[in-house]
Structure 1
């Protein structure tokens, strides 16, 4: 028995833990949970826990239903919102087939595979997300749409406001779970908030994001409000993105940093950005996986719509943040398209795969965008060679379908399931008669 496993077993006994939740995600990124009793934990470490995978979105085909979930002892944490009555802990799990092979449809395994590819080249991949979400008075809504908890704006300080207590409680709970928070503040939209997580390796961060969403939902329930990570819940207001800072390290050295280079950005860093730009359109169906995601991408309010990069240019898809003198370790790039509803395991896998492709193939970085890309007209953008991101989920899926990079990274099963699931979503969306059509056509036609 290794030290971490022994630590978990001792902690369960010493802290009187009554339930242990085994967490994993489906292909879409929905958190799943099965609870076991303390007496079952040692067996779960040794043999896994059997579940019917065919009942989980995209996990298996019906004729290969049985899978095993294996808890990762390094992810053990006591859930603070459960309190002292029936204390409960959780661990994230890896999914395997009965013969011990890694589950081909396990999003966590997809990311592990991609990280292993980077590791073979000597790289460790770190991410740092800025997670936006809305606080609403209720999940119910009337003819005017959802009602936000306040009418505050960017960085507003609202005395006695719901958001202050909400963010404070959420941050404390995240830190109790071992998740470090860098910043928290009110965002630009009414009821919109942002909490930024301190950087970590990509697998840890993907686990942290799944925990983050759960914490935010739990605090909302506790405080009598409703939290949503929907990309664009309010018409005419900013959408909720998850701008994500990315960096590669070789040992203790930041591979994106080169003293004296333009923006202190190394050749590896430039090639990584070039890979992100070239493959951005074909990975968008995963980084922005819902019909509603494209209302954010094409709705303005600092959401990127065009494939560009720039130094501290917030209209660009990829931004190179301001360099901090004497802090080469902080060199990074920021990918601004991904939204808060993405499956972080699959999204991080594709961002890394695109960047690695740029390094492996020696992609040349195009000229940076120095102007506000949104203020240009279509002819000006075409003249500058600024291609656009997909304008709809349907468009994104057609680009993903032809992508070797996405197919290789996700694996055949996940690749096909995402296409099938999202095509069904588009079909149902396209078939509806919307309020817009009724308002525009019913009386005049």
Structure 2
């Protein structure tokens, strides 16, 4: 829930991550790196990697490293398909001395037989970004829980003293997790991400660590890297970091709030003279996001568990902090889109399970549709649109019926939206086919 630090409306666009002056081998050798994590994610956001020794860095840079795509998971391949070759993006090179002094990470673009693989989320975002002359900049609020899981599978906050009814911003709870939080903060700042706040969130065991906004691709890479860093550093202290949207039924869930703005040639396009200090273009973009909100939720909230968060009525703290309708307003966190200041909008529909590449690609496509069609978002604060989808199944149905959001998933090649939809339908029915304690408690002796 921490505010993203904005740039003033007249400030120049933040510079994207610079391309390294040296090749991968030279850069790794200079940093004392002996191994490289060549990493990409599948459609669910699962991080996949191979550990490449520095001696093979030139091969990695020029030829990539091969993966059996079907074994990766949700990447649109069958066992008989050719290898996926992960080709590194050198601008994403990231030393990881907090994990291992001799380790670095590089994000990769998956290719198959020399062509960008259309089912790879990073390729999808790059394709959508390349479809417009406008530049999307984004900030992301990464929320997560630190938990323990006992032998029975029961989850508890990793901090046994974190029991306050309203723990948000609690100084003592924050201090008890000082070592973990400051390790993550130090890593972010050393990497130049501009960590500016770390706080205890509204749920017991829940935290948020913020970093500065950047171009959309860099921010998506950083969300994936941050999840990896947070998870590994938590494990070292015997904790599990989970980005699961709703790990506790009675506590606030974890969001991935996205702060968005459009730029052209270094100039911000959202500040203006209309409501909340926005420009006409910003209102059109906002209207497009609201118009496609139901389909967007299949991408922004892509798990069964997501709808335990957006459908929550109350929590121990008294608020859910998750939207139920596609509305917008000023500095009001009950809306789907909040406008904290006139240089950006905050999309609050995404949760901790969202794949950041897909989330940004789909949202950009929805917003640009609003610009193209000159849509009007309606009166500020109005809650006249139908409620957001109540389940993942409803969201997937909305996705299938929405050519704009489906088209964003198909931006790098056809068939991805349909594949993603079937993947998520199968997930829903897999969950629906299980029998749990709620049913035992309700039905075992009811008849």
- Is the 8 Å Cα contact of residues 232 and 239 (structure 1) preserved in structure 2? yes
Pairwise mapping of residues 342-353 of structure 1 onto structure 2 (< 5 A)? Answer: 342-353=354-365
SS at match of 1:321: strand
- Is the 8 Å Cα contact of residues 85 and 110 (structure 2) preserved in structure 1? yes
Q: Please name the residue that 1:89 is paired with.
A: 104
- Is the 8 Å Cα contact of residues 245 and 253 (structure 2) preserved in structure 1? yes
Report which stretch shifted further, 56-65 or 310-319.
56-65
Q: Please name the residue that 1:128 is paired with.
A: 139
Partner Cα separation in structure 1 for residue 290 and residue 296 of structure 2: 10
- Of structures 1 and 2, the one scoring higher in RCO (CA 8 A, sep 6+) is 2
1:16 to partner: Cα distance = 3.2
Pairwise mapping of residues 187-198 of structure 1 onto structure 2 (< 5 A)? Answer: 187-198=201-212
SS at match of 1:117: coil
Alignment of 1:355 with 2:353, yes or no, is: no
Partner Cα separation in structure 2 for residue 429 and residue 278 of structure 1: 29
Q: Please name the residue that 2:25 is paired with.
A: 9
Alignment of 1:365 with 2:377, yes or no, is: yes
Partner Cα separation in structure 2 for residue 5 and residue 252 of structure 1: 23
1:206 to partner: Cα distance = 0.5
Q: Please name the residue that 2:42 is paired with.
A: 26
- Summarize the Cα distance change of 1:257–1:72 in structure 2 as closer, same or farther, 3 Å threshold: same
1:52 to partner: Cα distance = 1.7
Partner Cα separation in structure 1 for residue 265 and residue 179 of structure 2: 40
Partner Cα separation in structure 2 for residue 74 and residue 92 of structure 1: 9
Q: Please name the residue that 2:390 is paired with.
A: 391
Q: What TM-score does the superposition give when structure 1 sets the normalisation length?
A: 0.89
- Is the 8 Å Cα contact of residues 24 and 58 (structure 2) preserved in structure 1? no
- Summarize the Cα distance change of 1:437–1:107 in structure 2 as closer, same or farther, 3 Å threshold: same
- Is the 8 Å Cα contact of residues 54 and 66 (structure 1) preserved in structure 2? no
Q: What TM-score does the superposition give when structure 2 sets the normalisation length?
A: 0.89
- Is the 8 Å Cα contact of residues 200 and 206 (structure 2) preserved in structure 1? yes
- Is the 8 Å Cα contact of residues 24 and 57 (structure 2) preserved in structure 1? no
1:200 to partner: Cα distance = 0.6
- Is the 8 Å Cα contact of residues 24 and 61 (structure 2) preserved in structure 1? no
The number of residues matched between the two structures is 416
Moved over 6 A (4+): none
Partner Cα separation in structure 2 for residue 322 and residue 151 of structure 1: 34
Q: Please name the residue that 2:163 is paired with.
A: 151
- Is the 8 Å Cα contact of residues 54 and 65 (structure 1) preserved in structure 2? no
Runs of at least 5 residues in structure 2 that lack an aligned partner in the other structure = 1-17, 314-319
Pairwise mapping of residues 65-76 of structure 1 onto structure 2 (< 5 A)? Answer: 65-76=82-93
- Is the 8 Å Cα contact of residues 157 and 204 (structure 2) preserved in structure 1? no
Q: Identify the structure with the greater helix proportion.
A: 1
